[in-house]
Chains A and B, each alone.
Chain A
Amino acid sequence: MPQPVSIHKLTRYYGEHRGIIDVSFNVDEGSVFGFLGPNGAGKTTLIRHLLGILKPSSGEARIFGHDCWAERATVTGFVGFLPSDIQFQEHMTAQGLLDFYGQFRPESGYRERMAKLAERFALDLSRSVHELSSGNRQKVGLVQAFMHDAPLLILDEPTTGLDPLMQQEFLTLVGEERERGKTIFLSSHDLHEVDRVATHVGLIRGGELATVDRIDDVRARQQRRMEIMLAAPASLDCLRQLATVQDITQIDADGLRFELRVSRPLGPVLKALAGLPVEDLIYGVADLESVFIHYYNEPADAEAET
């Protein structure tokens, strides 16, 4: 079976302005692909290509082997989609709106899933969509995306406006859907969110793909923050000699607390620390932020994203 998402040299210009340039990657079936990038990096532009809304300047995007531009109607049948900043034009209840979108895919048995999802997200379906808060509108969008039981979910900034409890519920749902064999393409600028559910991660910046990798591999090569507190001043030369230790920074005036950037393997570091008067130690969690934050810190060229 063709891959859920296959993008090959996808390029899009808006006149002379850059949208995305030469982007290529695949998303494997059953994976959760976290698509990261600063605002204006080209995330939404890429997603609009996947939905056949935008025509590529060159290259192609395919979903389950179907060209996203030439075979839009077929492609969207495979997709449960949540747009960023969801808006509804219709003056109807949430139930009416979800029924409207569900009726286009009657074979999906959406009604039962709709009811369960609404209950799960504590969404009152009897209210008019125009009366809903942004968080509740987002819930309607999430129910709409998941209720079709589509094999591929494309979710653009899915937790925007959700409270922490609902964010947690959403992340749990993503995990469950993955276990059911669904493929999930999750665009976000929230590193923590992606870190918690993604199996793969891609980062786009300035319209170009900076990296695509398995999240375990990313974590394996990342530097993690370690903070040590000494009982008495001591030389840290034994740590400085190690190739796996970078950036030793003193963070107090007494020369007792230091911050280190440490990469794997950890054994030599622990051995060196055993020879020092270490009173306490904090070892940072393996998060994506420490890997990708430098991409975010550099000024983003936001002019092209529309």
Chain B
Amino acid sequence: MSAGTRAELLMARRATTSISRTALWFALGLAVMTALMVAFFPSIRSSSAELEDAYSNLPDGLMEAFGVGAEFDLGRYSSFMNAEMLGLVFPIAAGVFAIMQGAATVAREIESGSISLWLSIPTERWQLLLGKIVAVLAGSVLIAGATAAVVGIGSVIVDGDVTLAATLSVFAVLLGYMVATGGIAVACSALANERGRAAAIAAAIVLVCYVAKLIAGFSDTFDWLRYLSLFSAYNSLSALQDGAIPPATAVLYGVGIAGAIFGLISFQRRDIVI
């Protein structure tokens, strides 16, 4: 093993330990909430006709705002779980984790005054940061995995329509979303001196993406905004119902990887004025 790889592994192990408690709580919280939704589903299924009538009077754009598409069918497990959990709650909660942890990678070291000691480790800066990115990724895998697993297990319990393939597919989509938001946050962190600022910029970018998709849903005039939004590539319902990873998911991973690479290069070259 080269010294560089060893350094990355040491950094990744340390950073993973450091964020493990936070990741566990997020994973547990989302899993419990998903399990509650699973528990609600049988009663919702029995009264789905009345609820759908009520929903049918709402504008399409508003439905999309809550992660509910035109193909919404409350009596169907996949539709229900997407509407109640994966369409909005998961993006918010998992986004908070990915953004906060991604934003912390570099900026918190500077903000807390520990950057000088951290950078005295005899390895390249990008390798130190890569170790931290791996830790954020590991936390994201845990959170996305826990949520997807409860969706999949819940489907078996309530006789839903989500297959194993669909569970794995939706895991890939959920993780892709966390990779994208985390990657954006890492890029912001590599340029910032304060974690709060890095997180705020990353959150603003994600929010703008969300609003862009929302506006695109309200009016045909602004339909082009759909192509500027990360959320257009976040197709959790399609993954749940088709049992395959939607091709657009690659955009999420692409954005995340591009953000991480930008962060690595920026941090490697950065003149750190404290």
Query: How many angstroms from the CA of A247 to the CA of B115 in the assembled complex?
Result: 49
* Interface secondary structure of A, over-half rule: loop
**Are A88 and B119 CB-contacts (below 8 A) given A14-B273, A54-B271, A55-B271?**
no
Q: How far is the CA of A55 from the CA of B125 in the complex (A)?
A: 14
Complex CA–CA separation, A92 to B179 (angstroms): 28
Residue of A nearest to B125 (CB): A72
For the complex, is A87 an interface residue (Cβ under 8 Å from B)? yes
A81 at the interface (CB under 8 A from B): yes
CB distance from B110 to the nearest CB of A (A): 10
The answer, among B113, B120, B273, for a CB contact under 8 Å with A51, is: B120
Report yes or no: A87 in contact with B10, Cβ–Cβ below 8 A: no
Stretch at the interface among A33-41, A98-106, A167-175, A176-184: A98-106
Contact status A105-B14, CB under 8 Å:
no
Mask for A138-154, Cβ within 8 A of B = 1, else 0? 00010010000000000
Chain A residue at minimal CB-CB distance from B17: A92
B56 at the interface (CB under 8 A from A): no
Q: Given the complex of chains A and B, what is the CA–CA distance between A215 and B218 in angstroms? A: 78
Instruction: Say yes or no: is B117 at the interface (Cβ < 8 Å to chain A).
Output: yes
Residue of B10, B112, B119, B123 touching A100 (CB-CB under 8 A): B10
Evaluate contact between B116 and A83: CB separation under 8 angstroms: yes
How long is the Cα–Cα vector from A52 to B115 in the complex, in angstroms? 12
Residues in A neighbouring B124, C-beta threshold 8 A: 72-73
**Would you call A89 and B108 a contact (CB within 8 A)?**
yes
Contact A54–B273 (Cβ < 8 Å): yes
A54-81 interface mask toward B, CB cutoff 8 Å, 1 = contact, 0 = none? 1100000000000000001110110101
B122 A76 Cβ-Cβ under 8 A: yes
Q: List 11 A-B contacts (CB under 8 A).
A: A54-B271, A54-B272, A76-B119, A83-B120, A89-B114, A90-B18, A100-B10, A101-B121, A104-B7, A306-B273, A306-B274
Say which residue of B115, B120, B272 sits within 8 Å of A76 (CB atoms): B120
User: Known: A48-B116, A100-B10, A100-B14. Contact between A73 and B122, CB under 8 A?
Assistant: yes
CA distance A105 to B119 in the complex (A): 14
- Complex Cα gap A76–B109 (Å): 18
Q: Which residues of B contact A116 (CB under 8 A)?
A: none
Binding site for A on B (CB under 8 A): 7, 10, 14, 18, 108-109, 112-125, 271-274
A14 to B121 CA separation, bound complex (whole angstroms): 26
Nearest A residue to B9 via CB reads: A103
The answer to whether residues A90 and B108 also contact, given A54-B272, A76-B120, A104-B122 and a CB cut-off of 8 A, is no
Q: Does A125 interact with chain B (Cβ within 8 Å)? A: no
**Which A residues lie within 8 Å of B108 (CB)?**
89
Give chain B nearest CB distance to A11 CB in angstroms.
14
Whether A103 pairs with B10 at a CB distance below 8 angstroms is: yes
Cα distance, A170 to B10, chains bound together (Å): 30
- B114 near A87 with CB under 8 A, answer yes
User: Within 8 Å of chain B (Cβ to Cβ): is A86?
Assistant: yes
A54, A55, A77, A86: which contacts B122 (Cβ < 8 A)? A77
- Contact, CB under 8 Å: A104 / B113: no
A91 at the interface (CB under 8 A from B): yes
Contact A89 to B109, CB < 8 A, known contacts A53-B116, A54-B271, A104-B7: yes
The reply to whether the CB of A119 lies closer than 8 angstroms to some CB of chain B is: no
Once bound together, how far apart are the Cα atoms of A101 and B112, in whole Å? Answer: 18
> Once the chains bind, are A88 and B114 in contact (CB under 8 Å)?
yes
B168 to chain A, nearest CB (A): 34
CA distance A176 to B112 in the complex (A): 33
Contact B119 A87 (CB under 8 A): no
| Chain A CB within 10 A, most for which of B114, B115, B116, B124 | B116
Closest to A148 in B: B122
Complex Cα–Cα for A246 and B265 (A): 60
Checking B14, B112, B117, B123 against A81 with a beta-carbon cut-off of 8 angstroms, the contacting residue is B117
CB distance from B151 to the nearest CB of A (A): 33
User: Counting CB contacts under 8 A, is A279 at the interface?
Assistant: no
Contact status B272-A83, CB under 8 Å: no
Given contacts A54-B273, A88-B117, A103-B10, contact A73 B112 (CB under 8 A): no
Known: A87-B112, A87-B114, A89-B112. A53 touches B122 (CB 8 A): no
Cα(A77)–Cα(B3), bound, Å:
12
Per the bound structure, the CA–CA distance linking A54 and B121 in Å amounts to 16
A53 touching B119 by the CB < 8 A rule?
Answer: yes
Check B115 against A53 for contact (C-beta < 8 Å).
yes
**B74 CB to nearest chain A CB (Å):** 45
